[in-house]
Structure 1
Amino acid sequence: MSDKNTRPRRSESSAVSLSMELATLEHALRGASLLAELLANHDLPDEETQRMAPHCISAQLALVNARLRHVGRVTRGEEDAETLWAPHNAISPSPLPGDDGDVRLVSKTLSPFTRSSRKAPERKPRARRAVKKRPEKQPTAEDAPPAP
Protein backbone atom coordinates (compact mmCIF):
# COMPACT_ATOMS: atom_id res chain seq x y z
CA MET A 1 0.00 0.00 0.00
CA SER A 2 1.50 3.27 -1.04
CA ASP A 3 -0.70 5.68 0.91
CA LYS A 4 -0.12 5.78 4.65
CA ASN A 5 -3.81 6.42 5.43
CA THR A 6 -5.17 3.67 3.21
CA ARG A 7 -6.95 0.96 5.13
CA PRO A 8 -6.03 -2.66 4.51
CA ARG A 9 -8.05 -4.70 2.04
CA ARG A 10 -9.74 -7.92 3.13
CA SER A 11 -6.93 -10.02 1.67
CA GLU A 12 -4.42 -8.13 3.82
CA SER A 13 -6.32 -8.13 7.10
CA SER A 14 -8.86 -10.22 8.91
CA ALA A 15 -8.94 -7.94 11.96
CA VAL A 16 -11.70 -5.50 12.85
CA SER A 17 -11.27 -2.20 14.69
CA LEU A 18 -13.99 -1.92 17.31
CA SER A 19 -13.37 1.84 17.59
CA MET A 20 -13.93 2.38 13.86
CA GLU A 21 -17.03 0.17 13.87
CA LEU A 22 -18.57 2.05 16.80
CA ALA A 23 -17.67 5.44 15.28
CA THR A 24 -19.44 4.46 12.05
CA LEU A 25 -22.53 3.40 13.99
CA GLU A 26 -22.41 6.65 15.95
CA HIS A 27 -22.36 8.63 12.68
CA ALA A 28 -25.32 6.64 11.37
CA LEU A 29 -27.31 7.40 14.54
CA ARG A 30 -26.38 11.08 14.30
CA GLY A 31 -27.59 11.13 10.69
CA ALA A 32 -30.93 9.58 11.67
CA SER A 33 -31.23 12.10 14.50
CA LEU A 34 -30.55 15.07 12.20
CA LEU A 35 -33.03 13.80 9.63
CA ALA A 36 -35.69 13.38 12.34
CA GLU A 37 -35.02 16.92 13.55
CA LEU A 38 -35.34 18.33 10.03
CA LEU A 39 -38.58 16.40 9.57
CA ALA A 40 -40.01 17.61 12.89
CA ASN A 41 -39.13 21.24 12.10
CA HIS A 42 -40.47 20.99 8.52
CA ASP A 43 -37.07 22.04 7.18
CA LEU A 44 -36.78 19.42 4.46
CA PRO A 45 -36.38 20.82 0.93
CA ASP A 46 -39.38 19.23 -0.80
CA GLU A 47 -42.47 17.11 -0.33
CA GLU A 48 -40.85 13.92 -1.69
CA THR A 49 -37.98 14.16 0.80
CA GLN A 50 -40.46 14.81 3.60
CA ARG A 51 -42.47 11.75 2.58
CA MET A 52 -39.35 9.49 2.42
CA ALA A 53 -37.66 10.76 5.62
CA PRO A 54 -39.49 8.44 8.08
CA HIS A 55 -38.59 5.42 5.93
CA CYS A 56 -34.95 6.52 5.79
CA ILE A 57 -34.81 7.02 9.55
CA SER A 58 -36.37 3.63 10.17
CA ALA A 59 -33.98 1.92 7.76
CA GLN A 60 -30.94 3.57 9.35
CA LEU A 61 -32.03 2.56 12.84
CA ALA A 62 -32.67 -1.02 11.72
CA LEU A 63 -29.20 -1.17 10.17
CA VAL A 64 -27.53 0.16 13.32
CA ASN A 65 -29.53 -2.27 15.46
CA ALA A 66 -28.52 -5.26 13.32
CA ARG A 67 -24.88 -4.20 13.27
CA LEU A 68 -24.79 -3.77 17.07
CA ARG A 69 -26.27 -7.25 17.56
CA HIS A 70 -23.59 -8.57 15.17
CA VAL A 71 -20.83 -6.82 17.18
CA GLY A 72 -22.29 -8.40 20.32
CA ARG A 73 -22.18 -11.90 18.81
CA VAL A 74 -18.56 -11.39 17.75
CA THR A 75 -17.45 -10.06 21.14
CA ARG A 76 -19.16 -12.98 22.90
CA GLY A 77 -17.32 -15.40 20.62
CA GLU A 78 -20.49 -16.71 18.96
CA GLU A 79 -19.27 -15.62 15.52
CA ASP A 80 -15.88 -15.09 13.95
CA ALA A 81 -14.66 -11.49 13.67
CA GLU A 82 -14.21 -11.99 9.93
CA THR A 83 -18.02 -11.88 9.52
CA LEU A 84 -17.97 -8.32 10.89
CA TRP A 85 -15.19 -7.13 8.58
CA ALA A 86 -15.91 -4.17 6.29
CA PRO A 87 -13.71 -1.53 4.63
CA HIS A 88 -14.71 1.05 7.26
CA ASN A 89 -13.40 -1.06 10.18
CA ALA A 90 -10.41 -2.84 8.63
CA ILE A 91 -7.22 -2.75 10.66
CA SER A 92 -3.98 -4.69 10.82
CA PRO A 93 -4.01 -7.71 13.14
CA SER A 94 -0.98 -6.39 15.04
CA PRO A 95 -0.93 -2.99 16.79
CA LEU A 96 0.56 0.00 14.99
CA PRO A 97 1.78 3.28 16.52
CA GLY A 98 -1.24 5.38 17.50
CA ASP A 99 -3.60 2.40 17.86
CA ASP A 100 -3.08 2.09 21.60
CA GLY A 101 -6.69 2.56 22.74
CA ASP A 102 -8.31 0.45 20.04
CA VAL A 103 -9.74 -3.02 20.54
CA ARG A 104 -8.92 -5.46 17.75
CA LEU A 105 -11.28 -8.27 16.95
CA VAL A 106 -9.07 -10.77 15.13
CA SER A 107 -10.45 -13.53 12.95
CA LYS A 108 -10.00 -17.07 14.18
CA THR A 109 -9.65 -18.36 10.64
CA LEU A 110 -6.46 -18.10 8.68
CA SER A 111 -6.18 -15.84 5.66
CA PRO A 112 -6.30 -17.57 2.23
CA PHE A 113 -2.59 -16.85 1.76
CA THR A 114 -1.68 -18.55 5.02
CA ARG A 115 -3.92 -21.50 4.30
CA SER A 116 -2.34 -22.22 0.92
CA SER A 117 1.21 -22.12 2.26
CA ARG A 118 0.54 -24.54 5.12
CA LYS A 119 0.12 -28.25 4.78
CA ALA A 120 -3.30 -29.57 5.54
CA PRO A 121 -3.34 -31.46 8.81
CA GLU A 122 -3.60 -35.21 8.51
CA ARG A 123 -7.03 -36.50 9.24
CA LYS A 124 -7.43 -39.08 11.91
CA PRO A 125 -9.31 -42.17 10.86
CA ARG A 126 -12.91 -42.16 11.92
CA ALA A 127 -13.61 -44.06 15.07
CA ARG A 128 -15.67 -47.15 14.53
CA ARG A 129 -19.05 -47.22 16.05
CA ALA A 130 -19.26 -49.29 19.15
CA VAL A 131 -21.52 -52.26 18.66
CA LYS A 132 -24.12 -52.47 21.34
CA LYS A 133 -23.72 -55.65 23.25
CA ARG A 134 -26.83 -57.45 24.25
CA PRO A 135 -26.90 -58.52 27.84
CA GLU A 136 -25.98 -62.15 28.21
CA LYS A 137 -28.83 -64.42 29.07
CA GLN A 138 -28.76 -65.41 32.72
CA PRO A 139 -29.04 -69.15 33.22
CA THR A 140 -32.38 -70.22 34.60
CA ALA A 141 -33.40 -73.34 36.48
CA GLU A 142 -34.72 -74.85 33.25
CA ASP A 143 -31.34 -74.39 31.51
CA ALA A 144 -29.39 -76.01 34.34
CA PRO A 145 -28.40 -79.66 33.94
CA PRO A 146 -30.50 -82.15 35.96
CA ALA A 147 -29.29 -82.83 39.48
CA PRO A 148 -27.77 -86.30 40.13
Structure 2
Amino acid sequence: MSGKNMRSLRSESSAVSLNLELANLEHALRGASLLAELLANHDLPDEETQRMAPHCISAQLALVNARLRQVGRVIRGEEDAEMLWAPHNAINPSPLPGDDGDMRLVSKSPPLFARSLRKAVERKPRARRAVKKRPEKPLTVEEAPPAPLGPAAR
Protein backbone atom coordinates (compact mmCIF):
# COMPACT_ATOMS: atom_id res chain seq x y z
CA MET A 1 0.00 0.00 0.00
CA SER A 2 1.48 3.36 -0.98
CA GLY A 3 2.08 6.08 1.59
CA LYS A 4 -0.61 8.28 0.04
CA ASN A 5 -3.24 5.52 0.17
CA MET A 6 -2.31 4.68 3.76
CA ARG A 7 -2.53 8.36 4.78
CA SER A 8 -6.00 8.69 3.22
CA LEU A 9 -7.12 5.44 4.88
CA ARG A 10 -5.78 6.69 8.23
CA SER A 11 -7.54 10.04 7.85
CA GLU A 12 -10.88 8.33 7.18
CA SER A 13 -10.70 5.75 9.95
CA SER A 14 -10.11 6.33 13.62
CA ALA A 15 -11.38 2.90 14.64
CA VAL A 16 -9.70 -0.45 15.09
CA SER A 17 -11.39 -3.78 14.41
CA LEU A 18 -10.71 -6.15 17.28
CA ASN A 19 -11.58 -9.12 15.03
CA LEU A 20 -9.02 -8.08 12.42
CA GLU A 21 -6.35 -7.42 15.06
CA LEU A 22 -6.89 -10.81 16.71
CA ALA A 23 -6.93 -12.58 13.33
CA ASN A 24 -3.58 -11.00 12.49
CA LEU A 25 -2.13 -12.13 15.83
CA GLU A 26 -3.54 -15.62 15.23
CA HIS A 27 -1.72 -15.75 11.87
CA ALA A 28 1.53 -14.68 13.53
CA LEU A 29 1.18 -17.44 16.15
CA ARG A 30 0.38 -20.00 13.46
CA GLY A 31 3.49 -18.94 11.54
CA ALA A 32 5.67 -19.32 14.64
CA SER A 33 4.10 -22.73 15.30
CA LEU A 34 4.75 -23.96 11.76
CA LEU A 35 8.33 -22.71 11.86
CA ALA A 36 8.90 -24.49 15.19
CA GLU A 37 7.46 -27.70 13.75
CA LEU A 38 9.73 -27.48 10.70
CA LEU A 39 12.70 -26.85 12.96
CA ALA A 40 11.84 -29.79 15.25
CA ASN A 41 11.44 -32.15 12.27
CA HIS A 42 14.65 -30.90 10.57
CA ASP A 43 12.61 -29.98 7.49
CA LEU A 44 14.05 -26.53 6.92
CA PRO A 45 15.67 -26.02 3.49
CA ASP A 46 19.19 -25.02 4.53
CA GLU A 47 21.58 -24.55 7.43
CA GLU A 48 21.17 -20.75 7.53
CA THR A 49 17.39 -21.02 7.83
CA GLN A 50 17.79 -23.64 10.53
CA ARG A 51 20.16 -21.35 12.44
CA MET A 52 17.82 -18.34 12.17
CA ALA A 53 14.55 -20.17 12.92
CA PRO A 54 14.73 -19.92 16.74
CA HIS A 55 15.36 -16.16 16.47
CA CYS A 56 12.41 -15.77 14.11
CA ILE A 57 10.13 -17.75 16.41
CA SER A 58 11.22 -15.68 19.39
CA ALA A 59 10.63 -12.43 17.49
CA GLN A 60 7.14 -13.51 16.41
CA LEU A 61 6.19 -14.46 19.96
CA ALA A 62 7.57 -11.17 21.34
CA LEU A 63 5.54 -9.24 18.76
CA VAL A 64 2.34 -11.10 19.60
CA ASN A 65 2.95 -10.65 23.34
CA ALA A 66 3.52 -6.89 23.01
CA ARG A 67 0.51 -6.44 20.75
CA LEU A 68 -1.78 -8.40 23.11
CA ARG A 69 -0.63 -6.29 26.06
CA GLN A 70 -1.38 -3.16 24.03
CA VAL A 71 -4.86 -4.46 23.11
CA GLY A 72 -5.49 -5.10 26.81
CA ARG A 73 -4.44 -1.55 27.73
CA VAL A 74 -6.82 -0.13 25.11
CA ILE A 75 -9.71 -2.32 26.29
CA ARG A 76 -9.11 -1.26 29.92
CA GLY A 77 -9.08 2.40 28.82
CA GLU A 78 -5.44 2.97 29.81
CA GLU A 79 -4.45 3.87 26.25
CA ASP A 80 -6.19 5.38 23.24
CA ALA A 81 -7.21 3.01 20.43
CA GLU A 82 -5.16 5.12 18.04
CA MET A 83 -2.06 3.39 19.44
CA LEU A 84 -3.32 0.11 17.92
CA TRP A 85 -4.30 1.49 14.52
CA ALA A 86 -2.62 -0.12 11.53
CA PRO A 87 -3.74 -0.78 7.95
CA HIS A 88 -4.46 -4.43 8.79
CA ASN A 89 -7.07 -3.53 11.44
CA ALA A 90 -8.56 -0.30 10.09
CA ILE A 91 -12.33 -0.18 10.07
CA ASN A 92 -15.08 2.39 9.66
CA PRO A 93 -16.03 3.88 13.06
CA SER A 94 -19.76 3.34 12.39
CA PRO A 95 -21.03 -0.24 11.98
CA LEU A 96 -21.82 -1.53 8.51
CA PRO A 97 -24.17 -4.41 7.59
CA GLY A 98 -22.45 -7.71 8.34
CA ASP A 99 -20.18 -6.26 11.06
CA ASP A 100 -22.38 -7.53 13.90
CA GLY A 101 -19.79 -9.74 15.59
CA ASP A 102 -16.95 -7.21 15.50
CA MET A 103 -15.96 -4.96 18.34
CA ARG A 104 -14.76 -1.50 17.34
CA LEU A 105 -12.14 0.27 19.40
CA VAL A 106 -12.67 3.93 18.52
CA SER A 107 -10.00 6.55 19.05
CA LYS A 108 -10.91 9.35 21.42
CA SER A 109 -8.64 11.81 19.65
CA PRO A 110 -9.27 13.29 16.21
CA PRO A 111 -7.57 11.65 13.20
CA LEU A 112 -3.84 12.21 12.87
CA PHE A 113 -4.01 14.74 10.00
CA ALA A 114 -6.57 16.87 11.85
CA ARG A 115 -4.35 17.04 14.95
CA SER A 116 -1.28 18.04 12.95
CA LEU A 117 -3.32 20.68 11.10
CA ARG A 118 -4.72 22.03 14.37
CA LYS A 119 -1.25 22.18 15.90
CA ALA A 120 0.04 24.13 12.90
CA VAL A 121 -2.81 26.65 13.15
CA GLU A 122 -2.68 26.99 16.94
CA ARG A 123 1.08 27.39 17.20
CA LYS A 124 2.03 30.75 18.63
CA PRO A 125 5.51 32.02 19.31
CA ARG A 126 6.52 31.44 22.89
CA ALA A 127 7.71 34.37 24.91
CA ARG A 128 10.95 33.61 26.65
CA ARG A 129 10.68 33.82 30.35
CA ALA A 130 13.43 35.60 32.16
CA VAL A 131 14.93 33.51 34.89
CA LYS A 132 14.66 35.40 38.12
CA LYS A 133 17.67 34.97 40.26
CA ARG A 134 17.08 35.40 43.91
CA PRO A 135 19.91 36.86 45.87
CA GLU A 136 21.39 34.27 48.14
CA LYS A 137 20.95 35.15 51.75
CA PRO A 138 23.99 34.61 53.91
CA LEU A 139 23.89 31.55 56.14
CA THR A 140 23.55 32.15 59.83
CA VAL A 141 25.78 30.38 62.32
CA GLU A 142 23.06 27.80 63.05
CA GLU A 143 22.61 26.92 59.34
CA ALA A 144 26.28 26.77 58.41
CA PRO A 145 27.77 23.30 58.04
CA PRO A 146 30.44 22.34 60.57
CA ALA A 147 33.98 23.06 59.57
CA PRO A 148 36.23 20.07 58.90
CA LEU A 149 38.49 19.12 61.74
CA GLY A 150 42.12 20.11 61.33
CA PRO A 151 45.09 17.83 62.16
CA ALA A 152 45.55 19.39 65.60
CA ALA A 153 41.94 18.68 66.65
CA ARG A 154 42.03 14.96 65.71
Q: Identify whether the pair has TM-score above 0.5, normalized to the shorter chain.
A: yes
User: Residue type matched to 2:32 in 1?
Assistant: A
Which stretch has the larger CA shift, 94-103 or 107-116? 107-116
Instruction: Give the whole-Å Cα distance in 1 for the aligned partners of 2:81 and 2:10.
Output: 12
Match of 1:82 in 2: 82
Counterparts in 2 of 1:115 and 1:72: CA distance versus 1, 3 Å: same
Unaligned runs of 5+ in 2: 1-7, 123-154
Q: What is the Cα deviation at residue 93 of structure 1?
A: 0.3
Query: Which has more helix, going by share of residues?
Result: 2
- Structure 1 residues 43, 92: CA separation in 2 closer, same or farther (over 3 Å shift)? same
Match of 2:61 in 1: 61
Q: SS of 1:16's equivalent?
A: strand
* 1:41 equivalent in structure 2: 41
Please give the alpha-carbon distance, in whole angstroms, between the structure 2 residues aligned to 1:61 and 1:90.
Answer: 23
Displacement of 1:113 after TM fit?
4.0
C-alpha separation in 1, matches of 2:32 and 2:21: 17
Deviation at residue 25 of structure 1 after TM alignment: 0.1
1:72 pairs with 2:72: yes
Query: Is 1:107 matched up with 2:107?
Result: yes
Q: TM-score, normalised by structure 2?
A: 0.68
1:114, CA displacement in angstroms? 8.5
Aligned AA (2:78): E
Matches within 5 A, 1:122-137: none
> How far is the alpha carbon of 1:115 from its aligned partner?
9.0
* Per-residue deviation, 1:80: 0.2
2:95 equivalent to 1:95: yes
Max radius of gyration: which structure? 1
Change (3 A) 1:98 1:42: same
1:15-63 C-alpha deviation (Å, 9 max, x unpaired) = 0000000000000000000000000000000000000000000000000
Amino acid at match of 1:21: E
C-alpha RMSD over aligned residues? 2.1
Aligned equivalents of 2:89 and 2:17: distance in 1?
A: 5
TM-score (norm. length: structure 1): 0.71
- Whole-Å Cα distance in 2 between the matches of residues 82 and 53 of structure 1? 32
Distance 1:110 1:42, change over 3 A: same
Name the residue aligned to 2:10: 10
Which secondary structure state, in structure 2, belongs to the residue aligned with residue 11 of structure 1?
Answer: helix
